[in-house]
Amino acid sequence: MKSVVRMEHVCKDYLLGEQTVRALNDITLAIEPGVFLAISGPSGSGKTTMLNLMGCIDRPSSGSIYINDESVADKSANELADLRAHSIGFIFQTFNLLPVLSAAENVEYPLLRRKDVSAEERKQRVAYFLDIVGLARYSNNRPNQLSGGQRQRVAIARALAIKPAIVLADEPTANLDKRTGREILRLMKKINQRLGTTFIFSTHDQKVIDHADRLVQFEDGRIRAFGIRDVDNNWRLARVDYPDDNLPDNAE
């Protein structure tokens, strides 16, 4: 089956002072189109690093990454920017809206670098996606004139405006109250089902996991389990074991 994201033996190292820290360790997985997937795990487990690699914001230290079955390894910075502009939408916990722009202008912003999208089509897309997220009448409002939930809806519309294959959401409910967070999740689930857009979340919020149909559990930079919901809406989890998991405590 075609995958929207595929990783093969991906590792990511960071240099902290003179020490090398491995944030991701030998990650292999494939994500099929149209899923609503949660990447869960405690803080520091590698979730955000994983999302940054999927979004081609960062490059792996080793291993291979494929977006829509196309390797990104040899792409230049400009080619990766072009890939993001066409295929990958982003939703952040801090919304990342430009304060001097209206809601409509924020949604339009990622389309401005798209030479294949005319001014008229940009206008149509902005109106369409603001309507989908229920903010058509707030199109001229700036972010400081909107509630937190409304700002996140603008961020969702902005991510969808490029008509991406994938939307990556990094803790999208973290700065929202519980009721608003649930509303935002229901909205994204509805969009996932209506448009077939793949949503991939980095989260430790149980509400996000409750809405997901796929689950990847992270711990210490490794995948510890894969999950899929069965017909009774229960999780079927498959644990991932590594050869060195059974080493004695004093092993080096």
Task: Provide the CATH number for the domain around residue 165.
Answer: 3.40.50.300
* 248 inside domain: no
* 161 inside domain: yes
Mean pLDDT (the chain) is 92
Q: What is the rounded average pLDDT of the residues 111-138?
A: 95
Integer Cα distance of 134 and 130 in angstroms: 6
Q: What is the rounded average pLDDT of the residues 168-192?
A: 92
Residues 209-236 have pLDDT tens digits of: 999 999 999 999 999 999 999 888 899 9
Residues 59-105 have pLDDT tens digits of: 999 999 999 999 999 999 999 999 999 999 999 888 999 999 999 99
Integer Cα distance of 219 and 212 in angstroms: 19
251 band by pLDDT with thresholds 50, 70 and 90:
very low
* 111 inside domain: yes
Residue 246 has pLDDT above 60, yes or no: no
* 145 inside domain: yes
* 159 inside domain: yes
Top pLDDT among 117 and 204 is at: 117
What's the total number of domains in the chain?
Answer: 1
Q: What is the rounded average pLDDT of the residues 32-46?
A: 93
Q: Quickly tell me which residue has 């059974």 as its tokens.
A: 246
Q: What is the rounded average pLDDT of the residues 167-184?
A: 92
Q: Which domain holds residue 154?
A: 34-52+85-239
- Return left, alpha or beta for 47; rule: phi > 0 is left, psi -120 to 50 is alpha, else beta: alpha
* 71 inside domain: no
- Give the burial string for 168-177 (b: 16+ CB within 10 Å, else e): bbbbbbebbe
- Output the pLDDT for position 196: 92
* 118 inside domain: yes
Q: Concatenated DSSP letters for 122-139?
A: HHHHHHHHHHHTT-GGGT
* 76 inside domain: no
